[in-house]
Amino acid sequence: MEAIKKTDLSKEEIIQAYKYVVRGRRLDERLWQLTRIGKTSFNISGQGAEVAQVAMSLAFTPEKDYFLPYYRDMTASMVWGMTAKDILLGSFGKEADPSSHGRQMPNHYGSKAHHIVSGSSTVSTQMPIATGVAYSARLENADFVTVVTTGEGSANQGEVREAMNFAGVKHLPLIFVIENNGYAISVPIEQQYAGNFSDRAKGYGFSGETIDGSDFAKVYLAFKTAVAEARAGKGPKLIELKVERLTSHSSDDDQSVYRSKEEIELMKKQDSLHIFQKQLLEEGYLTPELIEEIEQEIQEEVNTATDEAEKMPDPLASSLLDEVYASN
Ligand X SMILES: Cc1ncc(C[n+]2csc(CCOP(=O)(O)OP(=O)(O)O)c2C)c(N)n1
* Phi, psi angle pair for 90, to nearest 5°: -70, -40
How are beta strands 146-151 and 66-68 bridged, if at all? parallel
Task: Assess contact for 238 and 178: CB atoms under 8 A.
Answer: yes
Query: Which does residue 121 bind out of ligand X, Mg ion, none, counting CB within 5 to 8 angstroms by kind?
Result: ligand X
Which residues from 250-289 bind Mg ion, rule CB under 5 A?
none
Q: Which stretch binds Mg ion (CB under 5 A): 6-14, 42-50, 181-189, 194-202?
A: 181-189
Nearest to 183 by CA among 239, 126, 124, 243: 243
User: How far apart are alpha carbons 326 and 297 in whole angstroms?
Assistant: 39
Asked if 28 contacts 46 with a C-beta cutoff of 8 angstroms, the reply is: yes
**Residue count, binding to ligand X (CB under 6 A):** 16
65 contacts which partner out of Mg ion, ligand X, none, CB within 5 to 8 A by kind? none
**Residues numbered 104-123 forming contacts with ligand X, rule: CB under 6 A:** 121-123
Smaller CB distance to ligand X: residue 55 or 243? 243
Least distance in angstroms from the C-beta of 31 to Mg ion: 19
Kindly state the smallest distance separating residue 208's Cβ from ligand X, in Å.
17
151 binds ligand X (CB under 6 A): yes
Among residues 40, 45, 99, 154, the one that binds ligand X under rule CB under 6 A: 154
CA angle, residues 256, 298, 50, in degrees to nearest 5: 45
Give CA–CA dist 271/45, Å, rounded: 14
What does the alpha-carbon distance between residue 164 and residue 160 come to, in Å, rounded to a whole number? 6
Q: Which is nearer to ligand X, 69 or 151 (CB)?
A: 151
Picked from ligand X, Mg ion, none, the partner binding residue 154 (CB below 5 to 8 A depending on kind) is ligand X
Report residue 260 CA to chain centroid gap.
26
| First vs last C-alpha separation in the chain | 50
CB of 113 to ligand X, least distance (A): 26
Per partner kind, with CB cut-offs from 5 to 8 A, the member of ligand X, Mg ion, none near residue 72 is ligand X
Does 256 sit near ligand X (CB under 6 A)? no
Q: Which is nearer to ligand X, 180 or 306 (CB)?
A: 180
Nearer Cβ to ligand X (217/219) = 219
Among 72, 103, 108, 115, binds ligand X (CB under 6 A): 72
The stretch among 15-23, 30-38, 146-154, 203-211 that binds ligand X (CB under 6 A) is 146-154
User: Does 267 interact with ligand X (rule: CB under 6 A)?
Assistant: no
Q: Tell me the closest approach of the beta carbon of residue 15 to ligand X, in angstroms.
A: 28
Binding partner at 149 among Mg ion, ligand X, none, C-beta below 5 to 8 Å by kind: none
151 touches Mg ion (CB under 5 A)? yes
Q: Where are the beta strands (DSSP E) in the chain?
A: 66-68, 146-151, 174-180, 183-184, 187-188, 207-212, 237-242
Contact 208, 200 (CB under 8 A): yes
Q: Which is nearer to ligand X, 7 or 247 (CB)?
A: 247
Q: Which listed range, 54-62, 182-190, 197-205, 270-278, lies at the site for ligand X (CB under 6 A)?
A: 182-190
Asked whether the beta carbons of 116 and 157 are under 8 A apart, the reply is no
Three-state SS annotation for 57-78: HCCCCCCCCEEECCCCCHHHHH
For residues 56 and 64, what is the distance between their CA atoms, to the nearest angstrom?
Answer: 15
Residues that bind ligand X (CB under 6 A): 72, 121-123, 150-154, 179, 181, 183-185, 245, 249
